Amino acid sequence: MKKSDKHQKILNAAIKVFGQKGFFNARISDIAKEADVADGTIYLYFNNKYDILLTLFEEEIGKLIVEIKAAISQKTDQREMLYVFALHHLRLVIEKKELAEVLQMELRQSGESIKEYRLNKFADYVNIISEIIHTGQENNIFRRDLQAGIIKRAFFGALDEMSRLWILNPNHTYTLEESAEEISDIFLNGIVAD
């Protein structure tokens, strides 16, 4: 087994364990067991428990950014892009449930390095929205009397709250598609210039 394989194997185990028990309740031995590896092996690949979490943010969010950008680049109309973002984001939450749980829970923690993540890496993800908004405003598709920064947060927050519902209550009351459609609808009819 190659070194990189074991690195990813441990990360995948960590996503699962952190997702189920939360960072603080997760034991290194849980992750080791899940990864089918000795406790000590983890320290050959990561500096400490917290480093696993940060690496997880770094690498996994990076993958999400690549994926969602690819999906959006299929569209040229900013209204459609917003819908595609919503659809894709919610789909990711369902497909990568455990990762979504980790991000939901742990990105809210206090602690300076986490805050920096919110301000850096994670911001990159959310800023995909503000780029769409900004371009849409330049093209006069979206109202210019609203601040892109506020729209961005409102839109992402709306999606994030739907995700939370699914994570906490797995019997989905609303389907992926209707959620993405209705949220986009609410926002578009709010931000599209008459």
Partner DNA sequence: TATAAATGAATGACAATTCATTCATTTATA
Partner DNA sequence: TATAAATGAATGAATTGTCATTCATTTATA
50 binds, among DNA, a copy of itself, none (CB under 5 to 8 A by kind): DNA
4 contributes a contact to a copy of itself by CB under 8 A = no
Question: Cβ(30)–Cβ(113) under 8 Å?
Answer: no
Q: What are the start-end ranges of the H helices in 96-120?
A: 97-106, 112-119
Angle at 5 between CA 4 and CA 6, to 5 degrees: 90
Tell me the residue type at 165: L
Site for a copy of itself in 85-144 (CB under 8 A): 101, 104-105, 108-111, 115, 118-119
Binding residues for a copy of itself restricted to 24-53, rule: CB under 8 A: 24-25
Positions in 148-177 near a copy of itself (CB under 8 A):
149-151, 153-162, 164-165, 168-169, 173-174
- Other C-beta atoms lying within 10 Å of the C-beta of residue 142: 25
User: Which residues contact DNA (rule: CB under 7 A)?
Assistant: 1, 3, 6, 25-29, 37-41, 43-44, 48-50
Whose CA is closest to 57, among 111, 28, 9, 100? 100
Q: What b/e sequence results for 72-104 when a residue is b if at least 16 CB atoms lie within 10 Å of its CB, and e otherwise?
A: beeeeebbebbbbbbbbbbbbbeebbbbbbbbb
C-beta closer to a copy of itself: residue 4 or 110: 110
Crossing angle of helices 78-95 and 62-72, rounded to 10° = 140
Q: Which of 50, 77, 172, 190 binds a copy of itself (CB under 8 A)?
A: 190
Kindly tell me which of 15 and 87 has the beta carbon lying closer to DNA. Answer: 15
Q: How far is the CB of 35 from a copy of itself (least distance, A)?
A: 20
φ, ψ of residue 142 to 5 degrees: the values are -110, 150
Write out the residues near a copy of itself by the rule CB under 8 A: 19-22, 24-25, 101, 104-105, 108-111, 115, 118-119, 146-147, 149-151, 153-162, 164-165, 168-169, 173-174, 178-179, 182-183, 185-191
